Every structure is written in structure tokens, then in C-alpha cells.
Amino acid sequence: MKFKENIWIHYFLNIRYSLGKNWIDFESEISNVIQAFECIRDNIERRERIQQSERNKVIKLEVVKDFVDISKEIEGLKELDLEDMYTNLKLFDVYIKKMTVDLDRLIRALEIYISEFINKIEVLQKNDDIKDINPDCVLSFNYSNTYERIYGQSNKIEYDYIHGKADITNNVNTCNLVLGIDEYLEECDRDNKLEFLPFKKFYQRIYKSTDSSYMEWVDEIRQNSECPYELYIFGHSLDKTDKDVLELLICNDNVQTKIYYHRKSNDDKKELGKLIRNLVQVIGAKELIRRTGGSHKTIEFIPQTLPGAD
């Protein structure tokens, strides 16, 4: 793979000092770029002029220009007239195709890194909050096999790597890792505006045939409404990019959900605040209030055990 010609790698290297430290910041930046391109494409398609007085459109154009400017030295794009692209739909779509191909190559590079480095990290101490949980099923949003390798000693555990599982033997075409964004279009546009569909998580899950065993688990939970289930959530930001999956699992009255949050001291609730805000976007404020108190309480936030604590 020619990393020097990858648009996304150039872009992320250029903004690396302003990019957040968390994984979700990485995905959010992809979403910002794609939504900006969608906005500009709409204006090209409708032959509308972008007026300086229309602040939102100007901001979107600046995002696209910043992204495209990074590409001007890339060998494979030198022949593309990047200035005319803003008024020529055909040229614009050629560039979008390049963005799609390069995202696939970036994902494959990530798979190599996880397979060769992350999956080989030796863990000397198990997490106290995880080691004594004996799950029947594990839904992993990670690409690495960390839980399976460190904690999943039982052969009876059923795994679902919903975003794919890193495998060094893959190539760009067989890599099944999902790295994308959530749906941002209004419902009336979702089935018609498909130019940026390959960047969306639900599309990638289907296209790459990632495991969807969790759907069978959800069916079982709902069919056995009188049977209690326990759902443990650990290390997930609860961001809305996974809303379609999280909502199906959490919003069941026979499921007790225990959400662990990271803390640096006994009174540190910074991460708890973030999780609550994110969960509002996933299930809504009304549903969150109902499920965290009263007779319908099904959600509990639990602070992680501090290192060295008895």
C-alpha cells in the first residue's frame, strides 16, 4: 500500500496536534469531513452559489478546502483540477471515490498495526472489575482479541466482533474492520442520497459481512421477556455512532445494564458525566431518566476499581 499517497493519512498527520486523544475523536473528524463534502456536493448539484452571508455553507466549504489542500502534493491527484472540482460534479465524485479507496487502505493499515502490535502486548495484571464476570456472550466493538485472549478462558463464550476482528492474513479487499460514521441525514434523505454510503458504519457492517450474532441475542431477550438478563458495558464511550446496536440491548425491561466508568480518584466523575451525555443521545433523556430511577430502574453506573484498592 502506498501510504504517501493516502489522503486520510495526510489529513490526520496535518491535524494531529488539534485532534482529540480518544478513538471517538478520530471517527468524529471523519464525520465532520464527510458531512462537509455532502453539503458542498448538494450545492454543486443544485447549481447554487455559496453566499458569504450563509455562514453554515461557508464553514462547510472551508472544511472541504482544508481537506483538499492536503491532497495537492499527492502523486495520484496531481492531474485532477482541484479548483474546478467545486463546480464540476463529475470531478467532485472522482475525488470522493479516491477518499473511499484511501479509507479502505487506512483501515487495512490499522489492521496490520493491531495484529502485529496490540494483539501481542503482554498483560501482566487482569482488571478486577472484569475478571470475575462470567459472560455467556461478548459483544466486542474493538478490533483486537484482548478480552478473548486475556479473560475469555471458557470455550462456552460466544463472541461477536461487530466491527470486525483484526487478522494479519487479510488484504485490503478481505479486511472486515469497520471504521465509519453514524447516519447524519434526515430520514427523508437517507434512502436517496447514497454518494457517501460507504463511509457509514451500518453499510460497512453489511458490505464486510461482520458478525451480527447480537441480533439473535436481542431476539432471545425479547422472546423471553420474563427471564432476567444482565448486560455489562466496559470501555465503551456510548457514543451515538453505535446507537443502533446499544439501544437494542439497553432498552429492554428484563435487562439490567451495568455501565462501568473510568476514574482517577474516588471523587472523579468526569467520565461519568460524558457517559450520561452520550447515553442521552443514544436512548433519549426521558428513557434514561426512567431507567435510572424508580420501579423501572434498569441502568446502573459503576465506578471502576482504583488500582491498588482493596
Of 266, 263, 262, 260, nearest in space to 300 by CA? 260
* Distances, alpha carbon 81 to alpha carbons 57, 68, 69, 72, in Å: 22, 11, 12, 10
Q: Is residue 177 part of a domain?
A: no
Q: Is residue 309 part of a domain?
A: no
In this structure, are 129 and 266 located in the same domain?
yes
Cβ contact 196:183 at 8 Å = no
In this structure, are 256 and 220 located in the same domain?
yes
Q: Is residue 295 part of a domain?
A: yes
In this structure, are 225 and 164 located in the same domain?
yes
In this structure, are 13 and 134 located in the same domain?
no
In this structure, are 69 and 157 located in the same domain?
no
Q: What is the pLDDT of residue 81?
A: 64
Q: What is the pLDDT of residue 80?
A: 62
In this structure, are 69 and 26 located in the same domain?
yes
Sheet holding 299-303, edge to edge: 229-233, 255-261, 299-303
Q: What is the pLDDT of residue 308?
A: 66
Read off the pTM. 0.81
In this structure, are 83 and 230 located in the same domain?
no
Q: Is residue 189 part of a domain?
A: no
Q: What is the pLDDT of residue 283?
A: 96
Last residue of a domain, one of 93, 116, 139: 116
Q: What is the pLDDT of residue 78?
A: 61
Number of domains in the chain: 2
In this structure, are 61 and 156 located in the same domain?
no
SS3 content of the chain, % helix, strand, coil (to 5): 50, 10, 40
Residue 273 structural domain: 124-171+210-303
Q: What is the pLDDT of residue 53?
A: 44
Last residue of a domain, one of 83, 100, 116: 116
pLDDT, averaged in runs of 10, over the chain (310 residues):
80 82 77 90 70 52 77 65 75 89 94 93 85 91 90 84 95 94 88 93 92 93 96 92 92 96 93 96 95 91 81
